[in-house]
Each structure stands twice: as structure tokens, then as C-alpha cells.
């Protein structure tokens, strides 16, 4: 790294590892919670015909009105709620963080700390983003990007349940501006008790964002509860329902929040091809819904098959999932070898061992097509027998 790079780039950015996306060329891709199904050919033709109307020489509709209308209808977003679109929900997390982060205050807090001045509370009054660990890595990364302090409250070690007492204590102590709760959670796959989430929303001094990225795979949702608390927003994405390539997330909630957060949105953040494609896809949602149904039943089938494969020997423990992936725990020290063995057999999953103490010996498997899942089970059976 050149001296100039080292001097100019903030130390906390230098300390970060870039978001890692492994090369999946030639592998069965079960690592990123994608929907494995393409569209039927006839629908692809209709979609391409719809794209012919797109005017690439013009900027896209800045408000993406057609798409907003299609989303509101498809997702039954309460009509009095505002909606904000992002280039993936990742961008929405970043917009939320940008809208509340106050670098000036952070600097003042740092200065006070450096001068040894007594600060009013243990967090030095730093603007904070709180979430649950292990959880979705982008909450932590984006907090770092914008100078927010990240606080992760540990889930319970046995079953990854939300620890209400610890979370309430953290809310009291850190007074977070933003609290993100992934529901279902990634990478653990479980839903938290909705009554516990309600307690957290009610006790939060700041904004609570229930991140429903995996909504297609569960019946639980806080979307119908929007408006019940003034500090609740619900975030979703079309990625997991089969449109990961489009990069489109949406945030719904009381209009006064949405209006303010919209101010940090970059102009034209949803390009015209994404707008046209997503609007088209939502109008043919029955295809995506049918695929989602298949994935849900494959998930349950795969979970039982994984448990059966183990046969009670403790070599592979699948955790319950309400999402389109399954977290599994291997025997101590075996996760790396299983991950590598699967890759050698042409299957890419996610290796989580080492990413968080509660994820020791853990792997995350995205649910694929029946054929892909069968290939995974066959490879796992061979690998488990070998060891």
C-alpha cells in the first residue's frame, strides 16, 4: 500500500475485509440464498419484449412510480405507509445509517475520550447501531463505513433465540439510534419470538428495522404491524424471492421517516432495466410464488434428510429454518474439511466456522433444486463415511 493510500484511507476502513464473494464458476451454487430456478422460456420472451420499451438514453423515473405501485399491490403494503427503494436492501441499510450518523458528534466523543474526560455513559455518547450476533454482516460493516458504533447482542448459544434481557439492557446502556432485527435471522435461519420483538420495539429509544429478507419462506411478518409503533420500519428485498440479479430492496414505514431517509438516496438509484424487470416480474408473481413454495417444501425435505443422514450420531446437526437455507453444525473441527470436500465434489456452500464464536463448526447450506439437494446429500454421505 502506498504511503498516500495508507494516510488518506480511514484506519477503520483499512482494518476491514472487503465483502467476500467466492468464485462459483462450474460449481453448484448453494452459498448465497438465491432462488435456483430460472423463469420459463415463454415468460423470458415476454420479459425481453417488455425491456424493448426501456429508454436507455434517458434517466429512469426517479421515484420508480410503476414499480412502487406494483410492489405496494403485490406485498399488501398498508396504503398510508411510505415506501423507499434501494439498490438491494444493502443500500437501504446504508441510507438509514447515513441519515442518522453524525460524524461531528463522533469526533467530539473521541476527543473527549482522548482527553480523559469523564463521559456520561459507557458508550461515550457515540451514535450506535445495534443488532444481534451472529447476524447479517452488512449491519456491522455499514456502521463502520459511516462512523457508527456497532453493538451486537449475543443470541442464546443453545438455539440462537433472542435474549430479551440482554437486549433490553443493551438498549438502555447504548441508546442505539438504529436497531436491526433480521426476521428470520441470517445465518441462523430461525425466527425470533414476535412478542420479544414487540418488547424491543417498545423499549427502543431509536428506530427499529425488522429486516424481512427471508419473508417469502415464512408466514410471519411485521408488515401488517406498521403504524402500531412510531419507530418501526420493515425492510424487504426481492433478492431471495428469485430476483437477486436485479438488486432491489424496499423499506416501508411511516411517511415522515421515509421522507427524511429519502434525502440521502442517490438520484436514480434504481436503474431503468431493474425498474422495468421488477415491475414485470411482480405482475407475474405467481411464477415466483410457485418457485418459493417448492423451495419451502424442499427446505423441509432437506432438513429431514440431513438429520437422517446423521442418524443421531452427532456428525451433522441441522438447525430449524424459516428461511431458504439451513445452518448445520459438524463435529468439532470438521467444518473446514466438509466444506473443502464438497467444493472438490462441485458444490459450493458457506463456511461460517470462525466467523463468530457461536458459529464454531457451522456451515450454511442454501436450498437448491431437488437435483442439487440430492447431489449435496450424496456428497455429504460420502464425506461423512470417509471420516
Q: Which residues bind ligand PMP (CB under 6 A)?
A: 33, 88-90, 136, 182, 186, 211, 213, 237, 239, 249
**DSSP conformational letter for 136:** -
Q: How far is the CB of 321 from ligand PMP (least distance, A)?
A: 13
Question: How remote is the C-alpha of 204 from its chain's centroid?
Answer: 21
Backbone angles phi, psi at 23, to 5 degrees: -75, 125
Q: How far is the CB of 378 from ligand PMP (least distance, A)?
A: 27
Q: How far is the CB of 239 from ligand PMP (least distance, A)?
A: 3
d(CA 85, CA 237): 9
Q: What is the 3-state secondary structure (H, E, C) of 93-125?
A: HHHHHHHHCCHHHHHHHHHHHHCCCCCCCCCCC
d(CA 50, CA 48): 5
Cβ distance to ligand PMP smaller for residue 136 or 192: 136
| Sign, CA torsion 174/178/183/184 | negative
Q: What is the DSSP string of 54-86?
A: --TTSPPPTT-HHHHHHHHHHHT--TTEEEEEE
Q: How far is the CB of 187 from ligand PMP (least distance, A)?
A: 8
- Which grid cell sits at 200? 424491543
Cβ distance to ligand PMP smaller for residue 217 or 280: 217
Residue 325 contacts residue 33 (beta carbons within 8 Å): yes
Q: How far is the CB of 212 from ligand PMP (least distance, A)?
A: 8
d(CA 214, CA 207): 21
Cβ distance to ligand PMP smaller for residue 94 or 204: 94
Cβ distance to ligand PMP smaller for residue 239 or 271: 239
d(CA 377, CA 326): 13
Cβ distance to ligand PMP smaller for residue 89 or 106: 89
Cβ distance to ligand PMP smaller for residue 87 or 167: 87
Q: How far is the CB of 202 from ligand PMP (least distance, A)?
A: 22
Cβ distance to ligand PMP smaller for residue 126 or 356: 356
d(CA 270, CA 284): 20
Q: How far is the CB of 331 from ligand PMP (least distance, A)?
A: 27
Amino acid at each position: 500500500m502506498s504511503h498516500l493510500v495508507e494516510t488518506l484511507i480511514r484506519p477503520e476502513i483499512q482494518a476491514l475485509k472487503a465483502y467476500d464473494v467466492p468464485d462459483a464458476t462450474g460449481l453448484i451454487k448453494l452459498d448465497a440464498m438465491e432462488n435456483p430456478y430460472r423463469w420459463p422460456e415463454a415468460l423470458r420472451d415476454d420479459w425481453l419484449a417488455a425491456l424493448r420499451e426501456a429508454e436507455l438514453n434517458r434517466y429512469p423515473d426517479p421515484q420508480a412510480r410503476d414499480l412502487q405501485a406494483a410492489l405496494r399491490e403485490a406485498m399488501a403494503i398498508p396504503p398510508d405507509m411510505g415506501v423507499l427503494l434501494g439498490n438491494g436492501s444493502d443500500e437501504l441499510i446504508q441510507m438509514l445509517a447515513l441519515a442518522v450518523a453524525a460524524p461531528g458528534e463522533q469526533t467530539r466523543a473521541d476527543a473527549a475520550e482522548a482527553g480523559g474526560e469523564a463521559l456520561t455513559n459507557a458508550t461515550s455518547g457515540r451514535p450506535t447501531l445495534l443488532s444481534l450476533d451472529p447476524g447479517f454482516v452488512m449491519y456491522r460493516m455499514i456502521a463502520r463505513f459511516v462512523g457508527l458504533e456497532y453493538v451486537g447482542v449475543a443470541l442464546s448459544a443453545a438455539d440462537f433465540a433472542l435474549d430479551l434481557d440482554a437486549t433490553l439492557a443493551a438498549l438502555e446502556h447504548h441508546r442505539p439510534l438504529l436497531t436491526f432485527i433480521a426476521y428470520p435471522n441470517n445465518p441462523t435461519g430461525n425466527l425470533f419470538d414476535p412478542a420479544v420483538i414487540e418488547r424491543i420495539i417498545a423499549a427502543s429509544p431509536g428506530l427499529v428495522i425488522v429486516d424481512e429478507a427471508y419473508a417469502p419462506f415464512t408466514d410471519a411478518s411485521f408488515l401488517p404491524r406498521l403504524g402500531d409503533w412510531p419507530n418501526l420500519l420493515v425492510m424487504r428485498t426481492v433478492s431471495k424471492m428469485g430476483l437477486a440479479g436485479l438488486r432491489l430492496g424496499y423499506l416501508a414505514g411511516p411517511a415522515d421517516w421515509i421522507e427524511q431517509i429519502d434525502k440521502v438516496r442517490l438520484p436514480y438509484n434504481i436503474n431503468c432495466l431493474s425498474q422495468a424487470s421488477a415491475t414485470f416480474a411482480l405482475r407475474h408473481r405467481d411464477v415466483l410464488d410457485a418457485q418459493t413454495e417448492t423451495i419451502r417444501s424442499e427446505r423441509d425435505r432437506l432438513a429431514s434428510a440431513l438429520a437422517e443422514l446423521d442418524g443421531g450420531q452427532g456428525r451433522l446437526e441441522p438447525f430449524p429454518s424459516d428461511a431458504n437455507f439451513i445452518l448445520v453444525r459438524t463435529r468439532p473441527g470438521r467444518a473446514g474439511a466438509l466444506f473443502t470436500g464438497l467444493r472438490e465434489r462441485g458444490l459450493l456452500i458457506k463456511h461460517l466456522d470462525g466467523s463468530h464464536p457461536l458459529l464454531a463448526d457451522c456451515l450454511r447450506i442454501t436450498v437448491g433444486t431437488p437435483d442439487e439437494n440430492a447431489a449435496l446429500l450424496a456428497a455429504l454421505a460420502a464425506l461423512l463415511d470417509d471420516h
